[in-house]
Structure 1
Amino acid sequence: MMDSQKLERFFKNECTPAEEQEVLEWFRNEELNAHQEQELAKMWEQETSQPTNDHNPTEILARIKASMHQNYPEMRVAGSEINKETEKLAGKIEWKKWYKMAAAILLPICLLTVVVHYYISERNAAQMVIAETLPGVRKTISLEDGSTITLNGSSKVVYRQHFPDDAREITLTGEAFFEVAKDKSRPFIVKTGPIATQALGTSFNINYRNNAPYIVVALATGVVRIDQEINQNKTELTKLRPNQQLIYDKKTARFELQPYDARVILGWRRGILFFNQASLTEVVSRLENWYGIPIELAGKVPEKTAEWNYTGEYNNQALEDVLTGISFVKDFTFEKKENKIVIHFN
């Protein structure tokens, strides 16, 4: 076996001309046993792993060949081509040795490339988009998969900028209408607290507000599946059909299915505020969310607010006009104090 220190100097391009010729002669004539192959590969790996380009493996191989041409003229041929004999001599370290050496060099690079690519892909996929609306403002969002989300006032959705290959997940707070593009390989899932609504190609409305006791999912077209997840236990609640809504009680974790009035549930998309036998609590809550202003009740407030039963429709009207219209029927006055509305019952 060639002296290891001399080989090390050769790899580093630090040999004298005489030493270099000796190493080349050895490369030319030496047949290596398994142990010597292992030692040489180990030496190559150590040298080429140094953080410098002074002994780039490609340059080392090119230098071996160039030196062979210079020291062994019989191997040269016309032009720049290398004859078969040259390749044979340069290959005296059998190709499997070069494969081992190349693997020692290239494998970490390949792994690094894969890791970097994976990191960049994951980082891009993990970039989150937050879209939200102010009170009384509606906004339509187009997703990269062709789906659209229409946000009602005082609402927010959070989702990945680039959906992964297995699912399209959205987190909603507030109210939104979803028109989902078909993609069987990636179900469209909207998470609202303890329940998740899953669809493939469907349109539906979800109302999930922190100050409301219920989560309401209303299906317009297609089919959706609604799951409940509590303490990491996931169970299917039901599948909705068009014109059906699920009303989920956040306190009791129970639900019921009902038909719905599209004017009440979906009218907001056209700026229509519609009440159908609504309780006082519902009227106040919807007005607060619609106009983004707190409402305080004063005076002789009806004891049975659930039986208040108000029906009316308002098309893109100001809060003062809406309250004036309701007051004619329900006998109250109202005034604006600083940043709130106070309703006085007579």
Structure 2
Amino acid sequence: MDYSSYQTADFLTDDSFIAYCYAESTEAIEKWENIAAQKPDLGLKIDEARELCLLLGIKVGAAEKSIALERLKNALDETVEAELPESRIIGLRNYVMRWIAVAAAVLIMAGAFAVYQLNTNPTGAALYSAANDHNYSLIGRTKAGERRFIRLPDGSTVLLNGASSLKIATDYNAHNRHLLLTGEAFFSVTKNKHKPFVVITGKTATTALGTSFKVESYPDATMASVMLLTGKVKVECTRPDLDVADVTLIPGQKAALFKGDKVFTQTDFNASDLQNWINRKLVFKDAGLPEIAAKIKAMYGIIIAPVDKAGDSISFTGEFSGKNINEVLEAIGFTNHFTYKQDGNTIKLLF
């Protein structure tokens, strides 16, 4: 049979195609996979029809489909027999029969989609509580001071900072785009208003449609934050016991949630500071140890352990771009006469 003229309605009324969509028949699966392979131009139509078919089955059972279809058939019979002579009833019924199932599908899908939308936009707290190893899988992990660039299936990108991990939902890009972050990362999101992009952490959940932002949420840190570079995002707290109100950010704004607080602290930030973070650019001018330690922690996720009074004499002027933590510390240590020892994400300075 020639399927080149098939439209969505034709697919949805083809029993073998329905069996293929729901993997109910090996024969049907082989048939439609072969058709898609032999006729690449049909691939998009097949994918679209399959997505609609699967959407139809999300919240609606077989009994409901049958009832809806029967009601439409009865309604059509009553209308046709009341308004047309018998000679035309049979011809019209044959013509519209394949559209009856499509009409039923459209009606059911409309209701199913509304329910689906309601149920697939839960709160950040609900998303975090439902996350587990069955519905999320590890896609990236970094050591302290390490960075990793990750491209997601939808084209969005992630710059994963040190001592961090990122998990991706097993159904990512199906109807939603959910990620589970531990640590810190910068996200550049491909626009798709139909599939919300949500970054979930143990403290915050950030929802975007198409934008770029940085999320920081290390497990032992006293503060979690979101910095928005472009677009707009909604930030929620994933701790329902805190009852923290959601906030919406515009470019240049930062939302921070400090340990013990029950409200997000919103402040402005300089976009160049975030760009420096992205490019791993550090600038010091007569910087003492507190400033150096703060910038190293922000850039690399590495903590410089408290030191005695010897640290008070440290001062450094210089600029680093794209350097790793060892290169930075060796340069600062050379001019200030110290060495260092690293243990995980903590560094101890040795004078």
With structure 1 as the length reference, what TM-score do the two structures score? Answer: 0.51
Distance 1:219 1:156 in 2: 21
Equivalent of 2:181, from 136, 154, 172?
A: 172
Helix, strand or coil at the partner of 1:267: helix
Equivalent of 2:339, from 310, 335, 341?
A: 335
- What is residue 261 of structure 1 aligned with on the other side? 270
- What is residue 270 of structure 1 aligned with on the other side? 279
Distance 1:196 1:291, change over 3 A: closer
- What is residue 131 of structure 1 aligned with on the other side? 140
Helix, strand or coil at the partner of 1:297: coil
Distance 1:199 1:214, change over 3 A: same
- What is residue 210 of structure 1 aligned with on the other side? 219
- What is residue 245 of structure 1 aligned with on the other side? 254
Unaligned runs of 5+ in 2: 1-133
Stretch of structure 1 that moved more, 282-291 or 174-183: 282-291
TM alignment of 1:274-313, pairs within 5 A:
274=283, 280-281=289-290, 283-284=292-293, 286-287=295-296, 295-300=304-309, 313=319
TM alignment of 1:44-123, pairs within 5 A:
none
1:305-336 Cα shifts (integer Å, max 9, x gaps): xxx998864213454663476579xx954223
With structure 2 as the length reference, what TM-score do the two structures score? Answer: 0.51
Distance 1:239 1:203 in 2: 14
What amino acid is the match of 1:268? Answer: W
- What is residue 224 of structure 1 aligned with on the other side? 233
What amino acid is the match of 1:297? Answer: P
Distance 2:317 2:219 in 1: 25
Distance 1:322 1:142, change over 3 A: closer
Distance 1:193 1:282, change over 3 A: farther
Distance 2:326 2:157 in 1: 32
Distance 1:292 1:279, change over 3 A: same
- What is residue 67 of structure 1 aligned with on the other side? none
CA contact (8 A) 2:202 2:219 kept: no
CA contact (8 A) 1:136 1:289 kept: no
Distance 1:173 1:242 in 2: 23
Distance 1:176 1:319, change over 3 A: closer
Distance 2:227 2:286 in 1: 19
Helix, strand or coil at the partner of 2:215: strand
Higher strand proportion, which one? 1
What CA RMSD, in Å, does the superposition of the two structures yield over aligned residues?
Answer: 3.7
Distance 1:291 1:318 in 2: 8
Higher helix proportion, which one? 2
Say whether 1:160 aligns with 2:185: no
- What is residue 321 of structure 2 aligned with on the other side? 315
Distance 2:260 2:178 in 1: 25
Deviation, structure 1 residue 217:
0.9
Distance 2:178 2:169 in 1: 8
Distance 1:210 1:270 in 2: 25
Distance 1:195 1:153 in 2: 19
Identity %: 33
